[in-house]
């Protein structure tokens, strides 16, 4: 049998003490950065992770939201057949836009909300979770004087929700049509901040982006059911 040099190296490292293994890892890390962001920021991945661990809850929620978006891009958008991932430019009320010929679908991506370290349940409904649908920063429209933080109906076509807080799986998503979301009582053209999300697939929520696009294109008129 031909010796496997890599296996021998792994065996040698495994036989060393934890202190020695950490020293080897540090040496390798100096020669092989994990990500190009280390060079851009001028620091190491370890320092970047330490900064995130020391950040406020709001900042960490922002990072987790970015992880959800990146997972959605890699595991959903990039695997779609016959759809093109359009570049999203500027401050727009959606995170992704895909196109097929002259068809455009705008997708707002949110991570399921947590409260006190636990997946947040929708008020009065133990079977539903919560997605927070509003912009993270406040602002005022200079022409109208209106709050720009709320989303308006028509600003995006599909809401995608990463269910990782409930499932512990970053690739777990649920989708619904944007016009089906619950409106605010005081402004029916504004989308309510806390939306009910079903982990179970039903007539309102699907685990397939393709099916949700079919719902959207079918023109079905309904509103999310709260049970």
Residue 17 CB burial class (10 angstroms; 0-12, 13-18, ≥19): exposed
Interhelix angle 57-75/45-53, nearest 10 degrees? 130
Q: How confident is the model at residue 145 (pLDDT cuts 50, 70, 90)?
A: low
Q: pLDDT of 83-113, one tens digit each?
A: 999 999 988 999 999 999 999 999 999 999 9
Query: Contact 188/178 with Cβ under 8 angstroms?
Result: no
pLDDT, tens digit, for every residue of 52-73? 999 998 899 899 999 999 999 9
Residue 224 structure tokens: 């999310």
The answer, yes or no, to whether residue 142 has pLDDT greater than 90, is no
Q: What is the pTM of this model?
A: 0.84
Q: Which residues of 136-160 are buried (b: 16+ CB within 10 A; e: fewer)?
A: eeeeeeeeeeeebebbeeeebbbbb
CB-based burial label for 48 (10 Å; 0-12, 13-18, 19+): middle
Facing residues of 46 across strands? none
Model confidence at 138: pLDDT above 70:
no
Q: Which residue has the higher pLDDT, 115 or 202?
A: 202
d(CA 147, CA 193): 13
User: Measured between alpha carbons, how far is 164 from 148 in angstroms, rounded to an integer?
Assistant: 28
N residues, the chain: 227
pLDDT of residue 3: 75
Residues in CB range of 99: below 8 A, 6 or more apart = 83, 84, 86, 105
């Amino acid at each position: 049998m031909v010796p496997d040099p890599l296996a021998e190296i792994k065996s040698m490292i495994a036989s060393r003490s934890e202190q020695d293994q950490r020293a080897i890892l540090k040496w390798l890390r100096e020669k092989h950065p994990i990500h190009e962001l280390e060079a851009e920021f001028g620091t190491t991945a370890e320092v970047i992770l330490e900064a995130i661990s020391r950040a406020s809850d709001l900042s960490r929620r922002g990072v987790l939201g970015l992880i959800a978006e990146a997972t959605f891009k890699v595991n959903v958008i990039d695997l779609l057949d016959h759809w093109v991932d359009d570049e999203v430019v500027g401050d727009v009320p959606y995170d992704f836009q895909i196109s097929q010929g002259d068809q455009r679908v705008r997708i707002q991506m949110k991570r399921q909300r947590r409260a006190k370290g636990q997946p947040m349940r929708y008020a009065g409904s133990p079977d539903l979770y919560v997605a927070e649908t509003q912009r993270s920063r406040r602002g005022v429209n200079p022409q109208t004087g209106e709050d720009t933080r709320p989303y308006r109906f028509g600003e995006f076509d599909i809401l995608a929700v990463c269910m990782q807080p409930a499932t512990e799986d970053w690739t777990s998503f649920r989708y619904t049509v944007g016009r089906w979301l619950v409106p605010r009582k005081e402004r029916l053209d504004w989308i309510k901040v806390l939306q009910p999300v079903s982990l179970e697939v039903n007539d309102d929520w699907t685990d397939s982006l393709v099916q949700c696009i079919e719902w959207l294109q079918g023109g079905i008129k309904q509103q999310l059911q709260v049970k």
